[in-house]
A and B are shown apart, each in its own frame.
Chain A
Amino acid sequence: MSHISPKSTYYAIFGALMALTALTVYVAFQHLGWLNFPVAISIAFLKASLVVLFFMHVKYSSKLTKLLVASTFFFLASLFGLTMTDYLSRGWLTSPRGTTTAGMLPKLQAAELPAVSAQALANPQPLFEATCGSCHSFTTKTAPTLAEIHDLYSNDVEKVVTWAKAPQRKRMRFEPMPSFAHLGDARLHALANYMLQQAAQTPPQ
């Protein structure tokens, strides 16, 4: 605390901070894609260290003070890091099959669809498990369960088919459902029938 810095040091640091602020603003208007954020934060860290070292006199303080300041920033970073492990991993594991709706969509659309044969339509279970069943089981927490769907539509197959072709988002606690129009009417009818039957037959636990 006893060190006295010349005024010129403070003016120089002030000038550096102003220049770096101008640089931050300039960079923010450049198209760097994902780099925009890291660059802005790096400049902010540089400015913060200038303030801590010179304006807060840490540069002229004892080693103990420096260690304390460093450990403070270490723990602050740890807490931010732990928070981010939660925040950034939200939605990684939302469906019972271990993928999000968005992650699943390309797989579902690319999946080889069984031919529309009488035989395949008579037993829609494999198709159901590859498509609707990924989210809509009896026990799912990520989408309305089969029982809920049955309660909503009772035996109206057409309404289920219409919804599957152009789903909306009624319940904000679920991720939006992708459209399954690409399955075609025949498969959708078989699926809707199958789902409503399953819900009617098997009582939910």
Chain B
Amino acid sequence: VILWMAKRKRFSPEWYTPVEMAGLYWHFVDIVWIFLFPLLYLVDRAHQVQ
């Protein structure tokens, strides 16, 4: 949606709030996965591979 809005020249150096908000949400999910990845997929790996 943001990409489509950007193509339509909806943003400017004065107004880019949706881009910022979308970026913040994107990176929030990013952080959640930074913790989920080791917890879900890597915990106890050393014991499973013998």
Contact = CB atoms under 8 A, between A and B. Distances in A.
A37 interface: yes
23 contacts: A21-B37, A24-B37, A24-B38, A25-B42, A28-B38, A28-B46, A29-B46, A29-B49, A30-B46, A32-B46, A36-B46, A37-B43, A40-B39, A43-B38, A44-B34, A44-B37, A44-B38, A48-B31, A51-B27, A51-B34, A52-B27, A55-B27, A56-B23
B22 interface: no
A87 B7 CA distance: 50
Nearest to B17: A1
Contacts of B42: 24-25, 28, 40
Given A40-B43, A48-B31, A55-B30, A1 B20 contact: yes
Contacts of A37: 43
Given A55-B23, A56-B24, A56-B27, A48 B46 contact: no
A187 B24 CA distance: 70
Interface string A23-63: 01100111110001100110110011001100110000000
Report the 4 A-B pairs with minimum CB-CB distance, sorted nearest first.
Answer: A28-B42, A40-B38, A28-B45, A55-B27
Nearest to B44: A36
Interface of B: 20, 23-24, 27, 30-31, 34-35, 37-39, 42-46, 49
**Which of A28, A31, A48 has the most chain B CB within a 10 Å cutoff?**
A28
B30 A51 contact: yes
A34 B20 CA distance: 40
A41 B42 CA distance: 11
B40 to A, nearest CB: 11
B43 A52 contact: no
A25 B37 CA distance: 10
A57 to B, nearest CB: 8
A143 B34 CA distance: 43
Given A24-B42, A56-B27, A48 B20 contact: no
A44 B35 contact: yes
B34 A48 contact: yes
